[in-house]
A and B are shown apart, each in its own frame.
Chain A
Amino acid sequence: MAEVFIKRDLPLVLIFIIGILVIIEFFFPHPALSAIKAELGTWTVVIANVSIFLGLFYMSYAQYRLLQRQKTLSGYVYFITPFVALCLFFIGAAFPGYTSSPQYQWLYQNIYRAQVAMYVSLPLFYCYYAAYRAFRIRSIEALALMLGGLLYTFRQIPLFTYLCPPLHPIGEWVLLVPNVAGGRGAVICVALASIVVGLRTLVGKEVTTIEVR
């Protein structure tokens, strides 16, 4: 009973009180309510900071579970790698200047940046592969999608706008007229759906909000 109260009822009550407070502040921005909202925002930042350590704990636990399933040399390498990286960055940040220290900057530039840039660049090739294998103009909708995409892309590439100057205004028109019309419609739909989900959450009807149903 107490467990259900802690895991289900208490979070719902807190969600309801805080949600209502924030909504009232939006419509009636009284200084007292604004102060409460600001304080709640600060708490959120504190929670977000603490959650970094929670993430570290979960990552460690997930790594440990993986190691239990694969106790091979590669398993131990996979297990140890993130912790070595973590220690390296902690050591880098321990030098004077902390995260601005040359040591930390070197690690960031030569390990992290290179790795993320590689990870971000690879989808370029997958895009080309997808365009080759999957982007078939089977219908008028697919043709419209491809034309819209290409016109916007061509606008972004100076070579095309140089060779064919009308591509620039056409691409801009695609971006600022049909895209805006469709985009605004989508945003309004999402906003209306968010209101429904928000109201369901406030009254405790949204089953995904809490752990115990």
Chain B
Amino acid sequence: MNVTPPPMPMAAALPLEVGETWRRLHPLSPIVRFGRVLIGVLGVAVASIAEQPGLRHDKGLPISLIVYVGLLVLGGIGGVISWLVTRWRIADGNLQIETGFIRRQSLRIPLARIQAVDVISPLLGRFLGLAEVRVVSAGRGAEHGRLAYLTAAQAPVVRARLLALAHGLEVGTPEPVALPLLHIQNGLLLPALLMRSHVLTPILIAIAAVAAIAAAPVIAPGVLGSVVTILVVSGLGVARAFNEDFDFAISEAGDGVRLDRGLLQRRHETIPYGRIQAVRVLEPLFWRAFGWARLEVDVARQSVSREADRDAQQVARTLIPVATRDQALWLLARVMPDAHPNPPPDAGPPARARLKAPLSFHFLAAWFGQRYVYARTGRVQVSTIIVPLVKVQSVRYKSGPLQRALHIATVDIDTAGRRWQGSARCRDEQEAIEMVHHISERARLSRRLPPPIPAGPAPLPAPAPG
């Protein structure tokens, strides 16, 4: 049964003409953009002036106040100028952004190469009704296109338009209806985050330290400080992850998977079908007791150098922060049809590989099917990477001196993703050679086939209860 939802009547709600018209960003953009800096400067200014009460009684204004006001005015002027000189349009199959006052910069992002489109609403932007549209594009030297900021009403329209053009559809194509797939309860997210071993370990250390202090109070001054530091650091990490993945909802539309998440800053990400280079199923140590898993995806992107882009990299492409394994696998099947990340019985490396990889040997496995290559690894946390054969860029056979002595070898499967590559480690030498043959052959054949990605939301089978 394949139910195609009726297209949403959105054509009337497209207020932007697409033509050659250059548009400015929203006039309040500089405030949101430099909001954090503004608050920071204000905070420092208030603190430093409050610290010097004597200055207030001097004749004239305290010098520090003049400096701060001057900084704010300069920053404000800079913001207004940058707003004035920035304009954008969608034309000739490109998203074009022109910016820069002294050094003009003209950005052309070919829509055919768009990997993902996000709408991001930072806290301050939400108060002002503004949102950013961020375009992740592939290719060396290409830059992210950031439209910061548009009104909250404009942003989804622009996103729909960019995605429609990226898929080669008509300009006025309305955004397809998103079908909700899964919503992660915050009540599940928080314990799951606390259960990651890099969080639980510091907590256990802290408990041990408290016990030690109770037993021998003499050591308290030395230990207490470091324990508190450890707890604060890991607490901040959890808080950040919780803030990022709060109220996580995943839905599916005709053009890709939609992710909505965030407590203070809401993100609405879209990962178009066919742009996923690899999927990773993560099962941390303590999660396995509960049967939980995490899904992450990798899309093609350039290496990140600038600070602003590093923020974009933070969009860690979490497909689900935590869910039951069944839900995760069900969702995996949505983005990668027919992917089965359960290793067949003969997927393990030969027993002699234990000498090369004693800790990860237990979980090492690699196998491949008609469409995907699977590679599982991990010492404490099990990680299964699934690479579609269509996305394979090159295949490499590697063996070091120890591996050669043991007659084993590693087969690396490279993709355009930047975060991981499939790596079948410590296979039998003959098997590795055959893997190279088969994987490159099947990758070649699959490149000639039409893409296997489904063309539209299918009815929901009820996911296993979580």
Are these two chains actual partners, yes or no? no
- A-side interface residues toward B, CB under 8 Å? none
- B-side interface residues toward A, CB under 8 Å? none
